Structure 1
Amino acid sequence: MTTTLTPQDGCTVVTGGASGIGLVTARLLLADGARKVALMDLNEPAHDVLEELRRRYGPERVQVLTCNVSQRDEVHAAVAAVGKDVPVSGVVSCAGTVMAKPSLDLTLDDLHKLFDVHLAGSLFTAQAAAIAWIASDTAGAIVNTSSVAANFGWPGRLPYPVAKAGIEALTRTLAVEWARWGIRVNAVSPGSVDSPLMADGKRPPGIKPLSEVADRHALGRVAQPQEVAEAITFLLSAKSSFITGAVLAVDGGFTITKDSAKELAQ
């Protein structure tokens, strides 16, 4: 009989774990008693952040994996290395980037920059965990990160909504394909989030500041990373044991608010 793993049983791998939603999710998992969390990113978290996590939760519970998620061999090797000491119990794919560029000017390199990280990265990380689970007759949960952008036309941002729509299709397909092994695959779909990526000075050209999009959400504000992380940890937990193939909107009512998408895209 397949053994279902929860965050308390093993290590949760979080891509994009050096900052933003990924880092906040890792911190929440540790606070909730996860056995171990592996932060996978191109760069390590800031030194003071990493030291704070290890001091508060114990160095044995916090691992850093420097890895390019768009490279299949790197991802598989990193996840396999984690599993040698503690079984991988779950995967959270938060790695991502954005781009503002007219569709008429897009190149193949532009598409690769987003598709490789968002789509290939989500697939390769899920693959690596699923291979380990199937081999050991265990099962865990996978949570991908989509966006409300998958559901509307966003002029000048084509690669991003296309990549996010692809993540939703990937999530549903893997949920069906891997269900026979007890593996659950879901996604969260945030609206605007107050994350480092959207901070003044770091926000990509052409992307509106959060202060201008807050009222496009029914709740009248943007999300805090913690609020998205709470949804992610729910989907990793036994509390969501009969949920798979779902895309959970964590958008403050953005998708149900009239003209939100149109105004955001202007």
Structure 2
Amino acid sequence: MGRTGLRGIVVAAIALSVAACGPRAAQDANLDSLDNELVDAGSGNAADPAMTAALHDQIMVDPALAGAANKDTVRPPAKPYSGALPADGVAGGATSSASAGTGETLKHAPAPGACPQCVAARESLTLGALAARQKDGRTASCAADMRYSASWANRLPADVPLYPDARVSEAAGNASGACALRAVSFSTAVPMQTVLDWYYTRTSKAGYSAEHQADGAEHVLGGTRGDGGAFALFLTSRRDGGTDVDLVANNGR
């Protein structure tokens, strides 16, 4: 190839390079023009002190808060949140066996005898199953259609109520037809003997012929009345000194 041909190739390459840079140069010029317009717009508001401060003042930083910021600022708790019930002793009633929060003098429950009912309590997994195994026919026949709701705890018989500081964990009942069955599981911070004496005092005054049974740590206080009313209390001591109770009664409100 001669010098003239080589010169033509070089000239063509330069022309292509210039053509390629043309649009790019135009874009840069447009961006520069836009930047200048924004700067001018900001400086044009110099007469507005609030605008000037917003655009030009330094950002205020709290050193104390800045020092506290780190990658662990937002983090999960060190342990799971507790959904447990408050302790039984919180806002509890009196624990004296002489009053149990009512001011009345309590009679002592009779000494316990053998406890065939304790077997039923151990083998019953639900309040309905416990009610179904009661000796009273009216109670057992109504147990099959029991419904569970905490509201049943408010419909116990007036003469076999909840203990004053009872903490209800479960309740069930049946009010269909002739049934007035109620069953409640609750705990209390007072010792078992106090609970036994309190219920024995109330039920004996209401005309029930109460009987006390025991098998080791399990106790039962139950009774019947001439109008067909019947109740049964199943009690066990808690490690914290309180008492767990299952109450079944067939003449609820």
State the TM-score bracket (shorter-chain normalisation). under 0.3
Q: Which has the greater radius of gyration?
A: 2
Structure holding more helix per residue: 1
Between 1 and 2, higher relative CO (CA 8 Å, sep ≥ 6) is seen in 1
